Structure 1
């Protein structure tokens, strides 16, 4: 896939972090980009800074996702590229003992369910809409579109308290190959990036000593990833037509410890 002025792309979670870095990389290459994000203020600011289109989007809602794609397509035409960066998690132990009373409490099921839906169902919701639109396009060099999803190192080595987040991200890894096979007949590719520790705005809220310790856990290079490095891989997954159905770790060879 050529990334130039002829390409229209959508980036979910594109107002910050890995998503915003990807928006900037796509725009630098000349592509038209629509930012989907739930944060209206951050989304409008990112769109103004990059020259992208912004659409408010809640990936948990069919209606919101459909409306966002309609806004994007009205502004830039049918997208051939989708990069899904929207997601999130929480940190709750499966069960917990109160230190004072000794009472045992369980991970609230609704909070577990929310995180799984946000990550895997939210991603799948966007993938289906984009793929349906891409399938209507004429193929270019045999290809109609490409999709990049975002999982996490937690999908395969989640830490304590990450049961919900790990489940949601593992779900994204799990759907990658079946979706790639489903969409192969339409000339649409699907790949997933599995990032490790990245210096996103959310991560950088932590105290500097903690950030230093986290960076030192990475075998090489001993630092957290730069969102620009995520964006670089995302664009390569769009460009390289033979990459399909793959999940690629981008983590400096880290394997997360239990805590």
Structure 2
């Protein structure tokens, strides 16, 4: 797919981190971009910085997602590219014994369910809306559109306390090929990036000693990933018409340790 001013794209979670880096890369190529994000302050700031438009969006809500797509399409036309970066998680052991009292506590199911809804269901919700819109378009160079989703190294190398996050991201990996198969007759490609440890704003707030240790744990190069490297792969997936149904790890060869 050609990445130029003729292309309209949507990036969820586009106000910071991997999403913002992708917005910047797309805008530098002349693409019309809509940023979907829950935070109005950072979303408006990102839009002002990049020349994109901001659409407030809660991926947990059908109504919010539908309204965001409607606003984006009114401004930029029907998107042919969707990059889903919205997500998050928590760190709670499955079952934990208090060291002092001996009390046993288990992972509340509602907190587990919230992570699945935010990542897996929220991603799927946006994919369905975008794909339905893409299906109304005529193909260009044989294709109507492309979806790039974001999983995590935790999908396969989940650490202690990451049961919910790992399950949620594994769900994104697991649905990649089935969705690609569902959409193949409509000339829409579906791919997933499985990033390792990246220097996103939440990670950069960690102590330097921790960041150094995390970087040293990467096979090579021994550092955290740069959000621009994620954006580079996302754009290549959009551009390369023969990439489909695949999940690609982007992690410097790291295999996460238990903790």
- Alignment TM-score, normalising by the size of structure 1: 1.00
Could you tell me which residue of structure 1 aligns to residue 131 of structure 2? 131
In the TM superposition, residue 201 of structure 1 has moved relative to its aligned partner by 0.3
Which blocks of at least 5 consecutive residues in structure 1 are unaligned? none
Question: Are positions 1:251 and 2:240 aligned together?
Answer: no
Could you tell me which residue of structure 2 aligns to residue 209 of structure 1? 209
In the TM superposition, residue 89 of structure 1 has moved relative to its aligned partner by 0.5
In the TM superposition, residue 99 of structure 1 has moved relative to its aligned partner by 1.4
In the TM superposition, residue 104 of structure 1 has moved relative to its aligned partner by 0.6
> Which segment drifts farther, 169-178 or 97-106?
97-106
Could you tell me which residue of structure 1 aligns to residue 9 of structure 2? 9
Q: Within 1, Cα distance between the matches of 2:187 and 2:53?
A: 26
Instruction: Describe the superposition over 1:112-154 as per-residue Cα deviations: whole angstroms up to 9, x where unpaired.
Output: 0000110000000000000000000000011000000000000
SS in 2 for 1:202: helix
Could you tell me which residue of structure 2 aligns to residue 140 of structure 1? 140
SS in 2 for 1:54: strand
Q: Within 1, Cα distance between the matches of 2:6 and 2:172?
A: 29
Could you tell me which residue of structure 2 aligns to residue 149 of structure 1? 149
1:231-250 superposed matches below 5 A: 231-250=231-250
SS in 2 for 1:15: coil
1:61-140 superposed matches below 5 A: 61-140=61-140
Q: Within 1, Cα distance between the matches of 2:222 and 2:211?
A: 11
- Number of aligned positions between the proteins: 259
Which blocks of at least 5 consecutive residues in structure 2 are unaligned? none
Could you tell me which residue of structure 2 aligns to residue 221 of structure 1? 221
Question: Are positions 1:41 and 2:41 aligned together?
Answer: yes
Query: Which aligned runs of 4 or more in structure 1 are off by greater than 4 angstroms?
Result: none
- Alignment TM-score, normalising by the size of structure 2: 1.00
SS in 1 for 2:201: coil
